[in-house]
Homo-oligomer: A and B are copies of this chain.
Amino acid sequence: MIAKYVPILNWGRRYSRDRFGRDLTAAVIVTIMLIPQSLAYALLAGLPPEVGLYASILPLLGYAIFGSSTSLAVGPVAVVSLMTAAAVGRIAAEGTADYASAAIVLALLSGGILALMGLFRLGFVANFLSHPVIAGFITASGLIIATSQLGGLLGIQTHGHAMPELVASIVEHLGQINLYTLAVGMASLAVLAWVRLDMKKRLSSWGVPSGIATFLVRAAPAVVVLAAIAASAVFDLGGKGVALVGQVPQGIPLLSIPNVSLDLITVLIGPAFIISIVGFVESISVAQTLAAKKRERIDPDQELVGLGAANIFSGLGSGYPVTGGFARSVVNHDAGAATPAAGIFTAIGIAVATLLLTPFLALLPKATLAATIVVAVLALVDFSILKKTFTYSKADFTAVATTLFVTLIFGVEMGISLGVAASILIFLYRTSKPHTAVVGRVPGTEHFRNVLRHDVETRPEIISLRVDESLYFANARFLEDVILEKVTANPDTRHVILVCPAVNTIDMSALESLEAINERLKDMGIVFHLTEVKGPVMDRLKRSDFFAHLTGQVFLSQHEAIDTLSKMRSDSRPDTPISTSS
């Protein structure tokens, strides 16, 4: 029973030597890749670089115990780091003890929220973040992050977590550019960009085997960091005004208890919730994609528990909010990771590196880390979603554009909140005016089609209206309106038939609208019928007293309805010829 919630008890029992070998290989590669990223993303979050390393040790253990993906590699990621900076920056100044402490509290809150959502199986909440909203948000975040790193590349101070403030602060301090910093920054940027865009192809053309080439590409950023440290020492860059990481505390904090106040929790709980949802959505899609490649399945609620544990462990180890990273998870998967044990070995690797690295970190120019970030996040920026949604659906385009624009101008929290609100309102608006069609019989068949699109038979005394949407509060009044409009436009009407094959639910509002329609039609001497009502919808209607008042009948098929009603009418008065609309 407990194994259901603690996956390590399952895979741990079946662990084998072969799996150990694969996990260890993957861990070595991920460790080398994760070190420069951890340092850089901590800087982006406004935290000392070593905090990035802390956030890459314990969280990996937490996820390995409780997570369900065999490929996911958790740790600091770009977007969550930006969101952390935006949330924590509101209550303390960067570099203060309060700032670091608030980041820890944010990780603990986020972990608690994720774990509770998992235990209560509330993973569906993440569904309210539509793909267009996420795409717009990630692109805007990438742009903001890249802009925020310009300061580091140029050696000037910047502030703000949205475009207007960032750009203004860059322009304002443009006169203070440090040329040595600029040189280090541009050199790092050039090398890293070349590594990402061209190095593998070049190595292949030199005859380097593909496996080795891939490994070298992944190790290159770490080599750039080491080279920058060496250059810093040789040329005394610190003495020339280049900002360095500076003295870093030795050792790894394994258990920290931050100062928590109710005020702090009140301020951070909202951002923690948003960070949790965004982190979860990013992580689950990577995990599901990689799981499918192994024909495995990810349980979203268990993933919530896994990520929750990772964040709680991050907080306990002086880290900050983490989630599953896209690039490093793909690397982990490609390198052959077979179980979450790969994460445990990576954590050990980072811990060892932390102990060995800290003496040298003091000399690392911040501009090199800024270059690492810029190269990583530019991959996030993708405007094609604007074009794609513009062609596919104006509603989705509006949601993307709103999210993108608001995030750039007003920041991450406002952007994601308004994006979600916009996509919900757009959806409600769309379903509030559902597609409806008056239908008639295709001559000689039992099929009924839209009178506007097909050559079909109708009868002047019968209006058959098909509604292509579930009936619920947002379109209940619309339905009343459409039916009254059709009826007042056709004074011969004696029967109105609502054709319901696409009606998946009828909520209380729609039920009352149907009752109102029935009453109003009765006042006009018109009988109201339903056809092709689905089983579950019918079951529910039977629980109300709707059928006690319904003036007409419920027919299984539209064909049966027209058959019966045509006969009824011919009994009561002379028949009129069937009219054919085109």
Contact = CB atoms under 8 A, between A and B. Distances in A.
Interface stretch (A50-58, A83-91, A290-298): A290-298
B543 A131 contact: no
A539 to B, nearest CB: 11
A128 B289 contact: no
Interface stretch (A156-164, A238-246, A270-278, A471-479): A471-479
A543 B391 contact: yes
Interface in A492-519: 501-502, 504-505, 507-509, 511-513, 516, 519
B389 A520 contact: no
B477 A297 contact: no
A534 B468 CA distance: 10
A573 interface: no
Q: How large is the interface on A (under 10, 10 to 19, 20 to 34, 35 or more residues)?
A: 35 or more
A433 interface: yes
A391 B546 CA distance: 13
Nearest to A515: B131
A488 interface: yes
A540 interface: yes
A536 interface: yes
A205 to B, nearest CB: 30
A95 B7 CA distance: 68
Give the one of A298, A504, A516 with max B CB within 10 A.
A504
A505 B394 CA distance: 13
B544 A127 contact: no
Contacts of A477: 126-127, 284, 300
A508 B292 contact: no
A124 interface: yes
B434 A504 contact: yes
Contacts of A198: none
A551 to B, nearest CB: 13
A480 interface: yes
Nearest to A522: B292
B432 A127 contact: yes
A469 interface: yes
A295 B522 CA distance: 11
A447 interface: no
A424 interface: yes
A481 interface: yes
Contacts of A128: 428, 473-474
A307 to B, nearest CB: 15
A469 B470 contact: yes
A429 to B, nearest CB: 7
A468 B504 contact: yes
A548 B144 CA distance: 34
Interface in A452-472: 468-470, 472
Contact of A124 (B291, B478, B543): B478
A524 to B, nearest CB: 5
Contacts of A289: 516, 519-520
Give the one of A284, A389, A431 with max B CB within 10 A.
A431
A129 B516 CA distance: 17
A356 interface: no
A430 interface: yes
A132 B510 CA distance: 10
Given A131-B476, A291-B484, A427-B474, 8 more contacts: A124-B478, A284-B477, A288-B516, A289-B519, A292-B521, A293-B520, A423-B473, A469-B470
9 contacts: A127-B476, A130-B509, A292-B520, A392-B540, A392-B543, A393-B540, A396-B508, A468-B534, A469-B504
